[in-house]
Amino acid sequence: MTDPLPVMDGPRHTELRRVLMKAFSPRAPASVVDSIANASRALVTEAVERGRCDVARDIAAQLPLRAICDLLDVPPADRQQLLTRTSKALGAESAEELAADSWVSRGEILFYFAELAARRRREPGDDIVSLLTQCRVGGQNLTDEEVVLNCYSLILGGDETTRLALVGAVAALLENPEQWRTYQAGGIATETAVEEVLRWTTPTLHAGRTATVGIDLHGRTVRAGDVVTLWNAAANRDGSAFDEPDRFLLSRSPNPHLTLAFGPHFCLGAFLARAEIGAVLCDLRDLVGEMRPTAPPRRVYSNFLSGIDSLAIALTPVR
């Protein structure tokens, strides 16, 4: 059995998930959350001082990878090359670039974690790679392959998704200046705003499932054993679940979006993603006066991820 957590099922999935939850529960990574808050403040301050930035490159690209690398204790010197590879692994800037680059990048990420896992087996520390090398699931240690694939899925699962949510948040604020002004004036709680950013951006468009029982759904029949695609993006704009689903409303509550999934595979990094988006929203509110786009945004080329990978803006400090 060499599947990583997102594609496992049953008791083995529950057991491994329980192990990893220790590292991902809201209580566990307090130092990681502090590090996110400090990094976000420094990045937004720097952008305001410069008066312009590419939100994707200068703010969003720096935070999520840093948080996961802190949890995995990836040495600082290796982080930039991992960022380049993760960006190419799931998406690209154009169709021509996608196939070859993404296969090479995925291979390189796997090799990188194979070496890191071997080092942590020899010299364990207080990090998730060490946790994976030492934990017991089904009465046995994980194999090297399982450790590596789980590191791979953590880095891919937590990096670009959150980056796209962060860039999408700024793009949505630019497109909805009245929402930006209300949030700036302190009229909306950040936790509430974070949920609308998650719904609005829906960075992972879909997920696959195999139906375990047959069901009739809106006039269509799904048979047991059928492979189905769940379109989170469509669910998040469902008019029977959301009032005015096509409006970006930061005060929306309740907000039963499916951006972080639902059920046994609910996003393990939800707490981290929310902390990162919340930190950037707070810093924009506290430090930025005006923001305006200086070039058209560029969308990521992918049939799995959705969002913007370049958003150039000019910003002024808060008065």
Instruction: Write down the least CB distance from residue 49 to ligand HEM, Å.
Output: 27
DSSP string, 242-310: SSSTTS--TT--S----TT--GGG--TTHHHHHHHHHHHHHHHHHHEEEEEESS--EE-B-SSB-SEEE
CB nearer to ligand HEM: pick between 198 and 288: 198
Instruction: Write down the least CB distance from residue 32 to ligand HEM, Å.
Output: 10
Instruction: Write down the least CB distance from residue 319 to ligand HEM, Å.
Output: 32
**By the criterion CB under 6 A, which residues form the site for ligand HEM?**
5-6, 17, 64, 68, 153-154, 157-158, 161-162, 165, 203-204, 207, 232, 259-261, 265, 267-269, 272-273
**φ and ψ at residue 309, rounded to 5 degrees:** -110, 5
Q: Which residue is nearest to ligand HEM (CB)?
A: 269
d(CA 261, CA 106): 24
Amino acid of residue 47: A
CB nearer to ligand HEM: pick between 10 and 75: 10
d(CA 276, CA 167): 12
Contacts of 234 (CB under 8 A, 6+ apart): none
Instruction: Write down the least CB distance from residue 101 to ligand HEM, Å.
Output: 22
The b-or-e profile of 42-62 (16+ CB within 10 A means b, else e) is ebbeebbeeeebbbbebbbbb
Instruction: Write down the least CB distance from residue 272 to ligand HEM, Å.
Output: 4
Instruction: Write down the least CB distance from residue 57 to ligand HEM, Å.
Output: 18
What pairing do the DSSP bridges indicate for beta strands 140-141 and 136-137?
antiparallel
CB nearer to ligand HEM: pick between 48 and 267: 267
d(CA 158, CA 281): 18
CB nearer to ligand HEM: pick between 158 and 297: 158
Contact 148, 129 (CB under 8 A): no
CB nearer to ligand HEM: pick between 13 and 57: 13
CB nearer to ligand HEM: pick between 92 and 275: 275
CB nearer to ligand HEM: pick between 152 and 183: 152
**Among 244, 269, 266, 267, which residue's Cα sits nearest to residue 255?**
244
Instruction: Write down the least CB distance from residue 17 to ligand HEM, Å.
Output: 5
